[in-house]
Copies of this chain bind each other. A is one copy, B any other.
Amino acid sequence: MSSLWNNRISISIFGESHGPAIGVIIDNLPSGEYIDVEELGRFMARRAPKKDGTTTSRSEKDLTQILSGVYNDRTTGTPLCAFIQNTDTHSGDYSNISHLARPGHADYTGAVRYKGFNDVRGGGHFSGRLTAPLCFAGAVCGQILERRGIYTGAHVKEIHGIKDAEFDHVKVSRQDILDVRYKDFPVINDKKGKLMKEDIQKARMGCESLGGIIECVSINVPAGIGSPIFDGLENSIAQLIFGIPAVKGLEFGAGFKTAKMVGSQNNDDFYVDDHGYVMTKTNNHGGILGGISSGMPITMNVAIKPTPSIAQPQETVDYHDMTNEVLSIKGRHDPCIVPRAVPCVEAAVNIALLAHLLDYPNFC
């Protein structure tokens, strides 16, 4: 199903950018889990536009209302529906491009897929706005995970060639994750963050946009989670991560670098540590072997393409009249979506982890 992910827990996302509301149903959550609504709000705020010129100037307050599945602040175990009203929509901004395919967007492919009947205003169901319910679902899952010590954190690893520091793939701690989480611009090294922001603002002034890479880690996932072949952690995370618009690549552990390595470099030697736990000395495997967690940090990189909405004139087609045209996109767009995609990546990983952990004896 287009907007349904169904694997132990299900995430069913609905809504169009300029319709009355967007939202999500999360089914099969464990019952009795405390939901901290304020903390959910803080998670959602990380995805909201900033006032510093690095994002759209749209005001997406994303006030999420829980319609079901939570009672007396705890999950009931029955479906949790969250709903976000669309308020700050300027449909007029899009009126002039109704059948002009914005390059890099799903306007043309969506029109073919839905025979022209989909709601194209603001990208409709393809809008990046639909990551808000994904974030919400991931934030709910994250609270359940963190209460058991499992933390997931991401940061902007690279934008347009400017590189942040990286998490230590062997020793990354809860504190490392929390240190980045609530920064306005989520990088480890704020000096690099400042350079990135300047680059983004410059791009915006030049009617350009920038892409980047997000690094994400999950710690304290017990060994033995996931399954071989099609239902491993990598498969599930991948299926969810590619649900975030603009993602064009995903690698776990040493990822594409393994292609240049020899086996003795890439293999991570095992050892039993002083507490009797099995560990690896290095973590090129990214915490997953055979689809199953090893107990080491789960690590991945996610490639995000430059926002396709740019103010420069672009050659394109009118897919209704089948004519060649030139398009100048107006409206308020993100010059770089990477920082706002950071909580989206965490959300996707949280959902995958909770789903697989539900099979783990005594998890809930």
Roughly how many angstroms separate A269 CA and B312 CA in the complex, as a whole number?
Answer: 12
Most buried by B among A118, A134, A323: A118
Per assembly, the copies of the chain total: 4
- Select from chain B the residue with minimum beta-carbon distance to A12: B12
Given the interface contacts A110-B292, A248-B286, does A125 sit within 8 Å of B261 by beta carbon? Answer: no
**Interface of chain A, helix or strand or loop or mixed?**
mixed
Cβ contacts A161-194/B at 8 Å (1 or 0 each) = 1000000000000000000000000000000000
Residues on B with beta carbons closer than 8 Å to the beta carbon of A243? 229-230, 232, 235
Given the interface contacts A71-B16, A286-B248, A307-B263, does A4 sit within 8 Å of B231 by beta carbon? Answer: yes
* A40 contacts partner chain B, Cβ-Cβ < 8 Å: no
Roughly how many angstroms separate A310 CA and B78 CA in the complex, as a whole number?
Answer: 26
CB under 8 Å from chain B, chain A span 28-84 = 28, 31-32, 65, 67-69, 71, 74-81, 83
Query: How far does the Cβ of A178 sit from chain B's closest Cβ, in whole Å?
Result: 26
Most buried by B among A68, A71, A126: A68
Roughly how many angstroms separate A1 CA and B83 CA in the complex, as a whole number?
Answer: 20
Given A4-B79, A208-B263, 6 other A-B contacts at CB below 8 A? A3-B78, A71-B118, A78-B125, A106-B292, A267-B314, A362-B362
Residues of A at the B interface (CB closer than 8 Å) are 1-6, 9-16, 19-23, 25, 27-28, 31-32, 65, 67-69, 71, 74-81, 83, 101, 103-106, 108-110, 112-119, 124-126, 130, 134, 158-161, 203, 208-213, 223-232, 234-236, 238-243, 245, 247-256, 258-272, 276, 278, 280-281, 284-286, 288-294, 301, 303-310, 312, 314-317, 319, 322-324, 361-362, 364
A-B contact pairs, 9 of them (CB 8 A): A1-B28, A3-B227, A31-B117, A71-B118, A109-B226, A208-B263, A249-B255, A256-B303, A261-B305
